Amino acid sequence: MTKRRIVFLTGTRADFGKLKSLINITQSCTDFEVHIFATGMHINSKYGKTVDEITKAGFKNIYQYINHDTIENMDRTLAKTIDGFSHYIAEVKPDLIVVHGDRVEALAGAIVGSINNILVAHIEGGEISGTIDELIRHAVSKMSHIHFVANEEAKGRLIQLGEKPSSIFVIGSPDLDLMNPSNLPSLYKVKTYYGIEFEDYSIAMFHPVTTEYEYIREYASQFVEALIQSGKNYVVIFPNNDLGSNEILSEFKRIENNPRFKVFPSLRFEYFLTLLKESDYIIGNSSAGVREAPYYNVPTVDIGSRQHNRVSLKSIINCDYQVASILCAIKEIEALGPSKEAVDSDYFGSGESDKLFFQLLQSSEVWDIEHQKQFQEI
């Protein structure tokens, strides 16, 4: 087999967690020459400069590109990423570009690849949510040639979007490859590393909903007030660097010196998984509450519209942004106790996404997919 050159594009700590096992299994094989284009939050020290974690993980051929203008101008970030990535692929000349999810960086990668007649593979397309992220995700799918999706439901949505069924492969959610408890660091190690002294705690993650920007400061204020009034201990993680992030971070200043809160710009993905697995619950509007938390039978307080329609489980309690509503949901979660609901492997996958991904890349099935896309009528 001719040695294939693959570029993985990553812009956030979250999408790197989804891509990590896929990068690892391909970079370990001499059939592939693997490169990583790291941009977005990874290069921003305000959010932990997580590109350092990519380097510490032992990956090679990492190219760092600063794409952020200001978080108030996502369109400019998109334009700058397109420009930088275009120059990059002109040098690297990849056979395949791999992007994940619903960020503007993924959209930039898909645009550059498709316009330059390079195969683009999209990880976890066909998902739905309640924000602009969904529009971006579907746009990425339409600019991509190959789709590695989490489940048959997602595959069905892509077919509705006019994608060819033979270009869609169900491999599960790749972050499950890393989630096996036997592969994670101990809770003692994680707490020691991050200086977390709580015996019991919950995870709090609150991201901006860009389509509701005018209300973000009030939403964040209500969220922080509810956490304070709950009287619980929390490990709080910074939001994504989307429009509204500054307003959320401004509200987080209220808990900076509160002994019941530990606030972090970012956490190592596997360390985060250990903390999540051992937490009482997760609260906020992160996708971790509807994807990773159920895998560990950890209940979720899901606030607002950001994860609307993602998944429906008894362990996920949805509420609005008002303090009273959030506190009521916390009480409901406490009464519920640890979730005993079995994780549906048909929905999340079996934790072997990397192996399925690798097998497909070693076959001709993926590489024979046509660069010229045609809309498929249903």
Note the pLDDT of residue 342: 53
Note the pLDDT of residue 346: 60
**Residues 160 and 268 reside in one and the same domain:** no
Distance between CA atoms of residues 123 and 100, nearest Å: 5
CB 66 within 8 A of CB 38: no
Distance between CA atoms of residues 221 and 226, nearest Å: 9
**Residues 293 and 309 reside in one and the same domain:** yes
CA nearest neighbour of 82 among 120, 110, 41: 110
Note the pLDDT of residue 175: 87
Structural domain boundaries, residue 244: 181-336
Q: 147 has which bridge partners?
A: 122, 168
Mean pLDDT, each 10-residue run in order, the chain (378 residues): 90 91 96 97 88 92 87 86 98 98 95 98 90 90 97 96 97 89 93 97 95 94 98 96 92 96 94 96 93 90 83 86 97 78 62 94 95 93
Helix (H) or strand (E) segment spanning residue 245 = helix 245-252
Please spell the DSSP secondary structure of 74-103, one letter per residue: HHHHHHHHHHHHHHHHHHH--SEEEEETT-
Distance between CA atoms of residues 361 and 349, nearest Å: 19
For residue 293, the domain's CATH number is 3.40.50.2000
Distance between CA atoms of residues 167 and 360, nearest Å: 11
CA 215 from centroid of its chain's CA atoms: 24
CA 359 from centroid of its chain's CA atoms: 24
**Residues 230 and 101 reside in one and the same domain:** no
Token pair listed for 375: 């809309």
**Residues 30 and 157 reside in one and the same domain:** yes
DSSP label at 191? H
Helices (H), ranges, 64-175? 74-92, 104-115, 132-142, 152-160
Note the pLDDT of residue 335: 86
Distance between CA atoms of residues 53 and 57, nearest Å: 6
**Residues 165 and 213 reside in one and the same domain:** no
**Residues 222 and 210 reside in one and the same domain:** yes
Task: Provide the edge-to-edge strand list for the sheet that holds 96-100.
Answer: 62-64, 32-38, 4-10, 96-100, 119-123, 146-149, 168-170
- Helix, strand, coil percentages, rounded to 5, for the chain: 45, 15, 40
CA 223 from centroid of its chain's CA atoms: 22
Query: E-assigned strands of the chain?
Result: 4-10, 32-38, 62-64, 96-100, 119-123, 146-149, 168-170, 202-205, 234-237, 261-264, 282-284, 300-303, 316-319
- For residue 185, CA distances in Å to 11, 223, 275 come to 25, 30, 10
CB 177 within 8 A of CB 25: no
**Residues 271 and 155 reside in one and the same domain:** no
**Residues 284 and 297 reside in one and the same domain:** yes
> Could you tell me if residue 360 is inside a domain?
yes
Regarding beta strands 146-149 and 119-123, do their DSSP bridges make them parallel or antiparallel, or are they unpaired? Answer: parallel
> Could you tell me if residue 372 is inside a domain?
no
**Residues 145 and 13 reside in one and the same domain:** yes
Domains in the chain: how many in total? 2
Regarding beta strands 62-64 and 32-38, do their DSSP bridges make them parallel or antiparallel, or are they unpaired? Answer: parallel
**Residues 167 and 50 reside in one and the same domain:** yes
**Residues 193 and 167 reside in one and the same domain:** no
3-class secondary-structure state, position 271: helix
> Could you tell me if residue 374 is inside a domain?
no
3-class secondary-structure state, position 6: strand
> Could you tell me if residue 343 is inside a domain?
no
> Could you tell me if residue 378 is inside a domain?
no
Note the pLDDT of residue 130: 65
> Could you tell me if residue 323 is inside a domain?
yes
**Residues 107 and 48 reside in one and the same domain:** yes
Note the pLDDT of residue 70: 63
pTM: 0.89
